[in-house]
Structure 1
Amino acid sequence: MPISYLSPLLDMTTLHLEIEHHTQYHYETAVRYSIQELRLKPPNSHGQSIKNWKILTPIKTKTNQDAFGNEYQTFVQDAPYKSMSISAKGEVISTGGYEYTDLESAVSPYYLLQQTRLTIPSPEMMAYFEKTLPKKADLDSVLELASAIRNTITYQSGITNFATAAMQSFAMKTGVCQDHSHIMLSLCRAANIPARYVSGYFFAEDSPNLASHAWVDICTDIDKSKWLSIDVTHACITDNRHIRLAVGRDYYSAAPIKGIRSGGGQEELSARISIHQIKVL
């Protein structure tokens, strides 16, 4: 569904949401060994509180915290398998918000000035967005850039994937929220503004294809670690429909599920995310 058909963003009422996220993997041949890393538990912070959250995996996981303050789980499978299922389910009470101070991350905002393979801009990108590059990290400037990206990169699923770089999406003039976010990261960093990728969920009953979502955090004050959250796909600030999972330098460092494996051959992946409103408090 084209993004222009989405309903306007909600007011700042509290939402009580139930989220289910199921991922199923099937392999052509047996996987001999694999390591999985999951960022599937929303944090109790930034305008959201979590209730009854459970992550189901084939074997027991180990929980850690990364340098960005994200909680993550890992598990290793060393017995052969040809299918694997990972599920997360729970409730979130969301009040929303788009400005906050982050004291949990050990990563300096200066580190987020560095481009990654997924965010390196092309000369054509820089020339195209030259007039809308922010001179400073204020709300009006970053929203103007987000609007320019949204209007340039047509929202269309199935064309790009997790490995598509910002310059590739720009060249095709198409992509999804991940691509919008990578281009925003690319241009903000080029303008000497620290920015980071946010993975999460988006509650939109009329557009379930947007349940898995991504946006960006812009650092407005490096010394005080103050951040501003911008949904580039909607060209707006984030609100109570945005549920944060993790932050990172790009999609790969904040991905809900990632891993490595030995064997398995061709992989077939299916994912299903449902978000239902329980009640408005």
Structure 2
Amino acid sequence: MHLKIRHRTEYRYDTPVHYSIQELRLTPPQVTGQTIDRWKISTPMKASNSSDAFGNQCSIFTQESPYTSMMIEAEGEVHTQDNYEFIDEPKAVSPYYLLQQTHLTEPTPEMLKFFAETLPTTNSVTAVLTLAAAVQAAILYFPGQTNFATTAAQSFAIRSGVCQDHAHIMLGLCRASGIPARYVSGYFFAEESPNLASHAWIDFCTDINQGVWTSIDITNSCLVDSRHIRLAIGRDYYSAAPVKGVRSGGEGEELSASISINQVS
């Protein structure tokens, strides 16, 4: 697929922000199944670029003058092909590190008991897909019930959430089963479901020694394919978030985000 993507994030405040730092992971990597034709990030101040521990490209900028609105825009074109297997670069984060739970992924005893029959005993694709189907069936996709700070345990307790919650629950269950797993942030092209444009899924490790990972979309209960565009990977949402930051001042924040994905003929 040849996809054109535009991602716009706008912040507005009732009172001025005096100082802020923004950290962006909005640059799709060149990986198997994904070729970047062109990509541009527009920010109000010049950003510095670097790579984090996971190999994600980060753009960071600081604003020291007062402001009451801020716009961040990323746009470009990507060619995708069906692919669900990824191999780490030699300096990648060890899969063993991705056995550790985080505040967002830690499963409760109730969660482990509920999914006991589908917890994978091996890291085979079939076994993990079976668990993904169980998570999708148990956690109703319902926007507005959760937010970026919602934990896997909280989403499970109310039996609802969005793709981010599906991913956090899946990460917790995989790690509890001894399978390294990592969070993936990205985009999903579905003309009939534009609300899924901003998306999240997981990679789980099928070969720890060789650093081989298989990518599964829990919300759609499938292996990833040409509809998926990867942005960043991490332990959970916090370490792979497309846009995050800290500020001083700025009461009454209003955040709006819009993403458009169109197929180029």
- TM-score normalised by L of structure 1: 0.93
CA distance, structure 2, for counterparts of residue 80 and residue 193 of structure 1: 47
CA distance, structure 2, for counterparts of residue 129 and residue 181 of structure 1: 15
SS at match of 1:34: strand
Residue 47 in structure 1 maps to residue 47 in structure 2 = no
CA distance, structure 1, for counterparts of residue 132 and residue 153 of structure 2: 16
Could you tell me how far 1:104 is from its partner in structure 2?
Answer: 5.7
Change (3 A) 1:104 1:254: farther
Q: Conserved in 2, the CA contact under 8 Å of 1:67 and 1:105? A: no
Could you tell me which of 14, 22, 36 is aligned with 2:8? Answer: 22
Could you tell me which of 117, 133, 149 is aligned with 1:131? Answer: 117
1:21-70 per-residue CA deviation (whole Å, 9 max, x = no partner) reads 00000012100100000000100113101112110000100000011010
Matched ranges for 1:1-281 at <5 A: 15-103=1-89, 106-279=92-265
Q: Percent identity?
A: 62
Q: Conserved in 2, the CA contact under 8 Å of 1:21 and 1:87? A: yes
Amino acid at match of 1:93: H
CA distance, structure 1, for counterparts of residue 97 and residue 68 of structure 2: 39
CA distance, structure 2, for counterparts of residue 105 and residue 134 of structure 1: 28
SS at match of 1:239: coil
CA RMSD of aligned residues (A): 0.8
- What runs of 5+ residues in structure 1 fail to find an aligned partner? 1-14
- What runs of 5+ residues in structure 2 fail to find an aligned partner? none
Amino acid at match of 2:29: P
- TM-score normalised by L of structure 2: 0.99
Q: Conserved in 2, the CA contact under 8 Å of 1:24 and 1:85? A: yes
Could you tell me how far 1:147 is from its partner in structure 2?
Answer: 0.1
Amino acid at match of 2:251: G
CA distance, structure 1, for counterparts of residue 48 and residue 151 of structure 2: 31
SS at match of 1:27: strand
Could you tell me how far 1:231 is from its partner in structure 2?
Answer: 0.3
Q: Conserved in 2, the CA contact under 8 Å of 1:68 and 1:104? A: no
SS at match of 2:264: strand
